[in-house]
């Protein structure tokens, strides 16, 4: 957060420099990043262990300023002088971040053979900064494979994201209920590998488990789950069956055995009536007939789950806070009046979802005395690319023009305002999600959104995105693709801009043709209700009986031809970069 430039530079082309690396298992990732930074800079170093586990030096040590008092123990200081590099931190995670900053500095300046003399005093603005992985909608694919999860852990650390929130379903093995495991469940060894990587890279994995709605994988795929079901509503569990709460406690205990560093345990409780749809079992209907409301059933379930988390926190002697999704109170259907929220203990963290501007509950949650954890959605509108320009083409529902990066920035700007208005509460930070199944489609481009969230959570959450986006995109492609030359960075940023223009043309074609696939990608009104029949029927409006295209269809065809030539040209430009970037992705 503070960068102070000085005179002079460190020459990276010297024969060798002594280097003191931090010892211990907890600094393994830090040492790995430092060795990569030195190698990338062309510097040769004679390594030895440092005496202090929270510092490192390369060359001649130098005095360092005081560590920042802010930053949740993750702050660090880094200084480069003409004689060497020194760093110290408040924690192993902070020292890893110092090493990552040095690696970024080498990436930006190393091709010159020198590092400018400077001092960095840095710390994060928010406590939890991460990504969100939906472990149910993305089942059985690469997205929830051990290899992918470990890749995401490492990539998160390199952008100084310190957590990954995982909606668990049956992704991790439950020792108390092995019957729910299926082909998508990790083996115990795979789970151990994932958590070992998380420990190494100082990324905290935070579990959430749905046990009312969205419980299909838990209790509807095996006969052993039958006693816990809401028999009239597939996918639901019954909150009027007392036996489910000891069952849930066992599941929570299993998760906490895996998620051994988590400060939070999510109890779910989102989109309940959306999936229940009035299909109440006889036991639940009897409660409603006695005067309870559907929200009473939801809150009663939540309170019992919160109690279970508190019991386990005491039994395990670990400080674990329950957190639950709050959208039922501020967003969906009749539940937009906050009624019943006051029955939820204030120690509970409320998870706040934001897909687009209509989701506007942060201030209301904090005003009512709750700490809040945000989840922002990228929500791209095509299969092909994270959306750098959601306003193009124009949407029939204006809210859709404020998605993707604008949604990520908008959540953080609202959070910044809310925490200033309610300083007695804490906005804990944000994890960014992609919905739904978009990681199968947009591939690595989603990291543009994840990295943007990292930047807004680390510092200056009120920054204006349209002003900041061009510089951010250039910095992102440099660090994501490990591009060390200015010309390569400019080329990559230009390719992204051109691909985004092509993306907008593809989206316009989807809208115009009533492409059936569109309904799976967006709530945009131009897609809702699409079907193969309507898409084929649309052809009769766009083409004459003899096949002559209408002006609208002809314009689309010309755009498609131009886009095809553009993409071929972009491919040729990308081929020229082969071997010149460190992370081809």
Same structural domain, 364 and 501: no
Domain for residue 292, yes or no? yes
Domain boundary at 475, 509, 530, which?
475
φ/ψ of residue 116, rounded to 5 = -65, 145
* pLDDT the model gives residue 442: 47
| Cis geometry, peptide bond prior to residue 436 (ω within 30 degrees of 0) | yes
pLDDT tens digits, one per residue of 474-522: 999 999 999 999 999 999 999 999 999 998 898 888 778 776 444 444 4
- Domain identity same for 378 and 405: yes
Q: Which helix (H) or strand (E) holds 57?
A: strand 55-59
Residues 469 and 522 occupy one common structural domain: no
101 close to 124: Cβ distance less than 8 angstroms:
no
Q: Considering the domain boundaries, does residue 481 fall inside one? A: no
The answer to whether residue 582 sits within a structural domain is no
- Do 471 and 491 fall within a single domain? no
Residues in the chain: 585
Residues 70 and 187 occupy one common structural domain:
no
H/E element holding 28?
Answer: helix 28-41
Q: Confirm if 82 and 117 have CB atoms less than 8 A apart.
A: yes
Give the whole-angstrom CA distance, residue 339 versus residue 301: 16
Q: Provide the pLDDT for residue 529.
A: 57
Same domain, 147 and 74: no
pLDDT at 520: 41
> Using the 8-state DSSP alphabet, how is residue 392 labeled?
S
Contact status, residue 85 vs residue 57, Cβ threshold 8 Å: yes
Alpha helices in 422-531 (DSSP H): 439-442, 446-458, 465-480, 486-513
Is the domain of 420 the same as that of 503? Answer: no
Q: Is 215 within 8 Å of 209 (Cβ atoms)?
A: no
Residue-number span of the structural domain to which 444 is assigned = 128-475
- Indicate whether 409 and 311 sit together in one domain: yes
Residues 170 and 279 in one domain: yes
Contact predicate 233/188, CB 8 Å: no
Give pLDDT, residue 136: 73
CB 225 within 8 A of CB 218: yes
pTM for the structure as a whole:
0.95
What are the distances in angstroms from CA 118 to CA 62, 83, 96, 422, 535?
12, 12, 19, 37, 59
Separation CA 206–CA 535 (nearest Å): 42
The CATH number of residue 137's host domain is 3.20.20.80
The answer to whether position 325 is within a domain reads yes
Q: What Cα–Cα distance (Å) separates residue 128 from each residue in 375, 427, 448, 454? A: 11, 9, 19, 10
**SS3 (DSSP) at 279:** coil
Q: List, for residues 38-70, the tens digit of each pLDDT value.
A: 999 988 888 899 889 999 999 999 999 999 999
Give the pLDDT score at 521: 43
User: Residue 416: which H helix or E strand, with range?
Assistant: helix 405-421
Strand 45-49 relative to strand 2-11, pairing = unpaired
Q: Are 185 and 139 in contact (CB under 8 A)?
A: no
Supply the CATH number for residue 16's domain: 3.30.379.10
The number of CA neighbours under 13 Å toward the Cβ of 130 is: 24
Interstrand relation of 114-122 and 76-81 (parallel, antiparallel or unpaired)? antiparallel
Smallest Cα–Cα separation from 493: which of 514, 476, 515, 506? 476
The residue from 440, 475, 510 where one domain ends is: 475
Residue finishing a domain among 419, 446, 475: 475
3-class secondary structure, 86: strand
Question: Is 480 a member of any domain?
Answer: no
Q: Note the pLDDT of residue 516.
A: 47
Task: Please work out, in degrees rounded to the nearest 5, the angle formed at the alpha carbon of residue 12 by the alpha carbons of 8 and 14.
Answer: 105
Name 11's bridge partners: 114
Sign of CA dihedral 9, 13, 19, 23: positive
Q: Are 541 and 556 in contact, with CB atoms under 8 Å apart?
A: no
Phi, psi of 364 (to 5 degrees): -65, -35
User: Do residues 187 and 270 both lie within one domain?
Assistant: yes
Co-location of 381 and 457 in the same domain: yes
CB 60 within 8 A of CB 36: no
- Does residue 376 contact residue 432 with C-beta atoms inside 8 Å? yes
CA nearest neighbour of 173 among 184, 188, 195, 163: 188
581 located within any domain: no
Of 423, 298, 424, 427, which Cα lies nearest the Cα of 352? Answer: 427
The number of domains in the chain is 3
Question: Are both 384 and 514 inside the same structural domain?
Answer: no
Asked if 502 and 566 count as a contact pair (C-beta separation under 8 A), the reply is: yes
**Three-state secondary-structure class, residue 582:** coil
In a domain, 429, yes or no: yes
Q: Is there a domain that residue 530 lies in?
A: yes
Q: Answer yes or no: are the C-beta atoms of 70 and 82 closer than 8 Å.
A: no
Q: Write down the pLDDT at residue 583.
A: 80
Query: What is the pLDDT tens value at each position of the chain, 585 positions in all?
Result: 999 999 999 999 887 899 999 999 999 999 999 999 999 998 888 889 988 999 999 999 999 999 999 999 999 999 999 999 999 999 999 999 999 999 999 999 988 999 999 999 999 999 999 999 988 756 666 778 899 899 999 999 999 999 999 999 999 999 999 999 999 999 999 999 999 999 999 999 999 999 999 999 999 999 999 999 999 999 999 999 999 999 999 999 999 999 999 999 999 998 888 889 999 999 999 999 999 999 999 999 999 999 999 999 999 999 999 999 998 888 865 556 888 999 999 999 999 999 888 888 899 999 999 999 999 998 766 656 788 999 998 887 888 889 899 999 999 999 999 999 999 999 999 999 986 444 455 456 889 999 999 999 999 999 999 999 999 999 999 999 999 999 999 999 999 999 999 988 988 887 787 764 444 444 454 455 566 677 777 788 899 999 899 999 999 999 999 999 999 999 999 899 988 898 865
């Amino acid at each position: 957060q503070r960068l102070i430039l000085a005179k002079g530079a460190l020459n990276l082309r010297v024969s060798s420099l002594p280097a003191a690396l931090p010892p211990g298992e907890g600094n393994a990732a830090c040492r790995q990043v430092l060795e990569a930074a030195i190698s990338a800079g062309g510097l040769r170093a004679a390594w030895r262990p440092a005496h202090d586990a929270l510092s490192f030096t390369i060359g001649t040590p130098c005095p360092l300023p005081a560590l920042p008092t802010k930053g949740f123990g993750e702050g660090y200081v880094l200084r480069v002088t003409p004689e060497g590099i020194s760093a110290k931190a408040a924690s192993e995670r902070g020292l890893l971040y110092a090493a990552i900053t040095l690696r970024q500095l080498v990436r930006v300046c190393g091709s010159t053979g020198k590092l400018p003399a400077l001092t960095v005093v840095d710390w994060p603005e928010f406590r939890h900064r991460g990504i969100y992985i939906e472990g149910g909608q993305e089942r059985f694919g690469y997205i929830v494979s051990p290899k992918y999860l470990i890749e995401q852990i490492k990539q998160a650390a390199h952008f100084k994201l310190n957590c990954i929130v995982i909606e668990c379903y049956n992704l991790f093995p439950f020792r108390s209920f092995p019957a729910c495991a299926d082909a998508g469940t990790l083996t115990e060894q795979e789970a151990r590998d994932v958590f070992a990587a998380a420990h190494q890279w100082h990324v905290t994995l935070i579990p959430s488990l749905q046990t009312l709605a969205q419980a299909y994988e838990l209790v509807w795929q095996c006969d052993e789950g039958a006693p816990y079901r809401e028999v009239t509503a597939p996918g639901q569990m019954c909150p009027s069956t007392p036996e489910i709460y000891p069952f849930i406690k066992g599941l929570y205990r299993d998760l906490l055995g895996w998620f051994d560093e988590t400060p939070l345990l999510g109890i779910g409780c989102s989109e309940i009536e959306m999936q229940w749809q009035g299909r109440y079992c006889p036991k639940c209907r009897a409660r409603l007939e006695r005067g309870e409301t559907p929200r009473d059933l939801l809150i009663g379930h939540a309170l019992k789950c919160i109690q279970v988390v508190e019991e386990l926190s005491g039994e395990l002697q670990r400080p674990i806070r329950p957190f639950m999704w709050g959208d039922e109170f501020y967003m969906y259907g009749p539940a937009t009046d906050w009624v019943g929220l006051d029955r939820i203990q204030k120690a509970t963290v409320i998870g706040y979802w934001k897909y687009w501007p209509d989701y506007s509950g942060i201030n209301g949650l904090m005003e009512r005395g709750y700490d809040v954890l945000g989840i922002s959605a990228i929500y791209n509108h095509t299969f092909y690319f994270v959306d750098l320009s959601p306003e193009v083409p124009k949407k029939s529902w204006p809210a859709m023009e404020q998605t993707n990066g604008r949604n990520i920035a908008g959540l953080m700007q609202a959070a910044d305002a809310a925490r200033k208005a309610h300083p007695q509460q804490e906005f804990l930070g944000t994890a960014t999600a992609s919905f739904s199944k978009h990681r199968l489609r947009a591939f690595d481009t989603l990291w543009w959104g994840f990295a943007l969230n990292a930047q807004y959570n680390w510092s200056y959450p009120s920054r204006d995105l349209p002003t900041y986006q061009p510089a951010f995109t250039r910095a992102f492609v440099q660090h994501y693709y490990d591009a060390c030359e200015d010309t390569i960075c400019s080329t990559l940023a230009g390719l992204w801009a051109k691909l985004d223009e092509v993306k907008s043309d593809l989206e316009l074609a989807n809208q115009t043709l009533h492409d059936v696939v569109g309904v799976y990608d967006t709530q945009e009104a131009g897609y809702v209700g699409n079907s193969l029949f309507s898409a084929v029927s649309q052809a009769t409006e766009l083409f004459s009986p003899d096949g002559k295209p209408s002006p609208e269809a002809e314009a689309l065809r010309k755009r498609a031809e131009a886009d095809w030539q553009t993409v071929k040209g972009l491919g040729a430009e990308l081929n020229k970069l082969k071997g010149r970037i460190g992370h081809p992705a």
